[in-house]
Amino acid sequence: EAKQRGKNTYVRYQEDTYQAFVKRMDIQERLRRSVEENYKGFELYYQPIVNTRKKKILGAEALLRWQDDVVGRLSPAEFVPLLEESGLIIPVGRWIIRTALEQCLCWQKKDKNFRMNINLSSIQLKKSDVIMDIETIMQELGIGNHNVLFEVTESGELESDSITQKILFSFRKRNLNLGIDDFGTGYSNFRYVKEMMFDLVKIDQAFIRNITKSQYDYLVVKQMTELAHSLNLKVCYEGVETADDLECVLDLNPDYIQGYYFAKPTTASDFETRYLCMEQKF
């Protein structure tokens, strides 16, 4: 009987995988159509990043959203991997860079120090000439690289892949600001971060989530922050959600804070009315 059950489980598993596969293919097809229809359904949301010492908005992180007529809204955790798998991340990535830089230019007219953070996928780094794309768009818009920062997610690959390393080095050569995202979850160590001359370390939400309850997480974040500062890197905490979180992390002296406590990611127009040039009281 156990054998029988085992077999059924196996069959069900295969069916699930097949269904999941079909669903993935369907969504990829819809993503492809969105791209072909001039990025219909894609939108950038913006989440404020707060300068902790100045108690004002440093800028925003651009975060991709996608809405489909049939599938509805999916989270980037669901659809970004599909964009990567299908190679669509290359054109969509270009669209993201252009859209975010146009928005940045517009907001810099109201706040000259406004900074935009843009996420790059490792596929974009490896499979396209992303630096050329960035420089072309920057030149076209007449926007400087000073207040723009590109975030790449920490992963073992980032560190071990020599092509990726070369590309990250050419970011440095061209004075393009680089941040390492989700730091602490992967394999990167500080020597690597220092060697690659990142400008910013974003400590992953996973460490901040329980920071008021876990002495261990608190100490890890404290250590990471001190080490980053000793290497002249700026530190941003992600995932600060409550007043308690905020009170707790302020003692650790982060340069920047990003989290639901201040604001969730929102549309460009909402960002502009609610957060641009706003002081933050805390």
Contact letters (x/-) for ligand C2E, 18-47, by CB under 6 A? -----------------------------x
Nearer to ligand C2E, 64 or 211 (CB): 64
Dist. CA 218–CA 248, nearest whole Å: 9
Amino acid code (one letter) for 29 = E
Q: Which stretch binds Mg ion (CB under 5 A): 98-106, 134-142, 181-189, 207-215?
A: 181-189
Here the tokens at position 99 are 């859209």
Residue 159 interacts with Mg ion (CB under 5 A): yes or no:
no
Q: Which stretch binds ligand C2E (CB under 6 A): 57-65, 160-168, 171-179, 229-237?
A: 57-65
Contact letters (x/-) for Mg ion, 183-222, by CB under 5 A? ----------------------------------------
Residue 80 interacts with ligand C2E (CB under 6 A): yes or no:
yes
Evaluate whether 62 touches 116 at the Cβ level (below 8 Å): yes
Q: Burial level of 228, CB count in 10 A (0-12/13-18/19+)? A: buried
Residue 124 interacts with Mg ion (CB under 5 A): yes or no:
no
Residue 64 interacts with ligand C2E (CB under 6 A): yes or no:
yes
- CA-to-CA separations, 243 to 35, 71, 281, in angstroms, rounded: 40, 36, 12
DSSP for 107-147, written as a single string: HHTTSTT-EEEEEE-HHHHHHS-HHHHHHHHHHHHT--STT
Question: Which residues are near Mg ion by CB under 5 A?
Answer: 119, 151, 153, 181-182, 238
